């Protein structure tokens, strides 16, 4: 239609038009596009578990037993035993009474938040929270108050001025900046002002904490009544998402979270893969996690020495600020020409003037991969 064409032309003129890249195959830190090999710095598969032979074996075994599709929503068509086993395994891993799996992190946040926060609630949200949190808040009937990024003092000001039921929602690791929420302060404020607290631990699970359990382990915080959302699709290398918390919370969400109630459930083979992935993170991932952090430090130090603005990154997500869309597209294309896959990040994913290249460092990257990025950036700076 004419309206669609005009909008696409407008986006292209502003440097905001997006197109899909099709990957022929993927192995470790490499992807094949149009039969050309590229170093992949855009994957959230931090530990490389998507290729782990034991996870593939568990999935194939379940595939032969259950078939692939689950057949319908769990309330309509029933739950498979792997769904129950995965939820029990998540609860043990996260240190909670219970857990409930969703199809994606987006489905989890857009189901959990509006189910909890109805009319007469106030939601307090970090200004840089993920789009799925923002959309979940929009679907709720609650009043919304946005606090400045990682600013606990501003959060407290807003909490002081509010009455009624309160819900604080924050990412733990922010997906575009790679920094970490000040959870100790936020937990303190949630208790002081009797606010419910929900954390999105998607990029922390498997990466933060001495055993990879996520941000609460990283800060030494007990789960207690904190609502923990997380995904199986990043460091766990699988697919799906979950909420972990009290038995009452899970029973409530089974009856009120529309994205759970009205979605076909995860294939049983996917659930079995998730169980095996958690086992691996729990008992076998220490060396992988160390490699991630060693690689992260190598790239971060090199970028800083070259004078690039990496914002306040503290994790394997390392942005390089490029400011405007045109410059970002040009740099991304330059990387691509040099066989490095690092797509341009532009509005609406980030705000105007905050365009960037977002590097996602994994255990599968080699020192040579990281040095290749730094050398390409050196040449870019001299052009």
Rounded (5°) CA angle 102-103-107: 75
Rounded (5°) CA angle 20-203-329: 35
**DSSP characters for 190-252?**
HHHTT-EEEEE-TTTTTTSSTTS--HHHHHT---TT-EEEEESSSTT-S--EEEEE-HHHHHH
Q: How many CB atoms lie within 10 A of CB 154?
A: 17
Peptide bond into 304 cis (omega under 30): no
Beta-carbon contacts of residue 64 (< 8 Å; ≥ 6 apart): none
Taking alpha carbons only, the member of 328, 319, 338, 326 closest to residue 378 is: 338
Strand residues in 60-137 grouped as ranges (E): 98-102, 121-126
What is the set of active-site residues? 175, 203, 234
Measure the CA–CA gap between 360 and 155, rounded to whole angstroms: 29
Measure the CA–CA gap between 49 and 65, rounded to whole angstroms: 23
- CB burial string 276-311: b at 16+ within 10 A, e below: bbbbbbeeebeebbebbeebbebbbebbeeeebebb
Taking alpha carbons only, the member of 111, 341, 360 closest to residue 243 is: 111
């Amino acid at each position: 239609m004419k309206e669609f064409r005009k909008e696409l032309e407008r986006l292209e003129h502003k440097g905001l038009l997006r197109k899909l890249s099709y990957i022929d195959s993927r192995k470790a830190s490499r992807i094949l596009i149009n039969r050309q090999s590229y170093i992949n710095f855009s994957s959230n598969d931090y530990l490389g578990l998507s290729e782990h032979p034991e996870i593939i074996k568990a999935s194939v075994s379940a595939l032969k037993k259950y078939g692939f599709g689950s057949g319908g929503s769990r309330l309509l068509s029933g739950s498979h035993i792997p769904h129950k086993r995965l939820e029990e395994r998540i609860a043990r891993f996260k240190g909670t009474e219970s857990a409930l799996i969703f199809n994606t992190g987006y489905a989890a946040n857009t189901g959990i938040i509006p189910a909890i926060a109805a009319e007469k609630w106030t939601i307090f949200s970090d200004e840089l929270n993920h789009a799925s949190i923002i959309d979940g808040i929009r679907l709720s009937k609650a009043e919304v108050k946005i606090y400045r990024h990682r600013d606990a003092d501003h959060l407290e000001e807003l909490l002081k001025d509010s009455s009624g039921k309160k819900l604080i929602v924050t990412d733990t690791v922010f997906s575009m900046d790679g920094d970490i929420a000040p959870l100790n302060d936020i937990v303190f404020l949630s208790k002081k002002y009797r606010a419910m607290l929900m954390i999105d631990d998607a990029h922390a699970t498997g990466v933060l904490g001495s055993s990879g359990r996520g941000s609460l382990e990283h800060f030494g915080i007990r789960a207690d009544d904190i609502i923990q959302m997380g995904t199986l699709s990043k460091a766990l290398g699988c697919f799906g998402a979950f909420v972990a918390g009290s038995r009452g919370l899970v029973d409530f969400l089974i009856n009120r979270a529309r994205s759970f109630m009205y979605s076909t459930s995860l294939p049983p083979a996917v659930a079995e893969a998730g169980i095996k992935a958690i086992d691996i993170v729990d008992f076998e991932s220490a060396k992988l996690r160390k490699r991630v952090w060693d690689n992260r430090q190598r790239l971060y130090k090199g970028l800083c020495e070259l004078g690039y603005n990496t914002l306040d990154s503290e994790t394997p997500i390392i942005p390089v600020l490029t400011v405007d869309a045109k410059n970002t597209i040009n740099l991304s294309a330059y990387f691509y020409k040099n066989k490095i896959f690092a797509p341009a990040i532009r509005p609406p994913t980030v705000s105007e003037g905050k365009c960037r290249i977002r590097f996602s460092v994994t255990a599968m990257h080699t020192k040579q991969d990281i040095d290749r990025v730094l050398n390409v950036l050196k040449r870019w700076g001299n052009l």
